Copies of this chain bind each other. A is one copy, B any other.
Amino acid sequence: MTTEQPSGPSEPDPASALAADVAAAAPTIILVEPQLAENIGMAARAMANFGLSELRLVAPRNGWPKKGAHSAASGAAHILEGARLFPTLREAIADLHFVLATTARERDQMKRVYGPEAALSQVAERLEIGQQVGILFGRERAGLDNDEVSLADAVITFPVDPGFPSLNLAQSVLLVGYEWSRQLGGAIPFGEASRSPPAARETMLSFLDYLEGQLDAIGYFPADKRAIMIRNMRDIFHRRELSEQDVRTLRGAIRALCEGSHGTKP
């Protein structure tokens, strides 16, 4: 073992270990009277995309479970199957300590209004001190009513175009999930393919010497402009931040051209 590990079963995959931590302390998504099973399914999919797993449904309009949710969830069935059903919003939030209400409309209520980033930063702070946090999403057409908003500690709204503010239900959930992921560091699942390091200056200069030598051999440079043309060409390649592999690829292509046409001006 090269690093200190907590006791218990070993966790070979750091990503799995992170996922387990997230599931242990993440906000609960609460859909209030959602109408369409497809939207519930898409909300579950959006949750799964960003590592959220606890879903609560308050009195879905067309009953629950409901056909159509699973196919829309595209594989996030575990979230739908674990969803908890509540007859009222009060019951759905009874065990929570901090509740945020999403809304696209201004309410006549003296409540804090957060953008998604500030809201999820609050959420992360609350979770860190052991609080249970829930985020409310209203009906597809009408959103949350004012009494429902009044049960929340604060409001989340999104930085939308004021002329076109209405977000689809699953898309609101997605943005909350995305900001949650950003709170956790927002690591993207892969980076630049890194098989080849940046070209060392030696590789680059050797390539340029080769290229210039070949061009000299076919009389490419007019004598009075040779120096400036070479400087310009070197600059083209230096600016590209080429990798070792890039330089090998270019050198191979140029060698092939030279061997095919050496001594013959096209």
A238: interface (CB < 8 Å): no
A181 and B193 in contact, given A49-B164, A113-B188, A115-B188 (Cβ under 8 angstroms): no
CB of A29 closer than 8 Å to a CB of B:
no
Q: 8 Å CB contacts to B: which residues of A160-175?
A: 160-168, 170-171, 174-175
**Interchain nearest-CB distance for A188 vs B (Å):** 5
- Mark contacts of A149-187 with chain B using CB atoms, 8 A cut-off: 1 yes-contact digit, 0 otherwise: 000000001111111111110110011001001100111
Query: Hey, which chain B residues are within 8 Å of A166, CB to CB?
Result: 49, 74-75
* A90 sits at the interface (CB 8 A): no
- Residue ranges of A at the interface with B (Cβ–Cβ < 8 Å): 15-16, 19, 42, 45-46, 48-51, 74-76, 104, 106-113, 115, 117, 157-168, 170-171, 174-175, 178, 181-182, 185-193, 195-196, 243, 245-246
Sort A-B residue pairs by CB-CB distance and give the 10 closest, nearest first. A106-B190, A48-B164, A159-B186, A51-B161, A162-B189, A159-B181, A115-B188, A113-B192, A49-B160, A157-B188
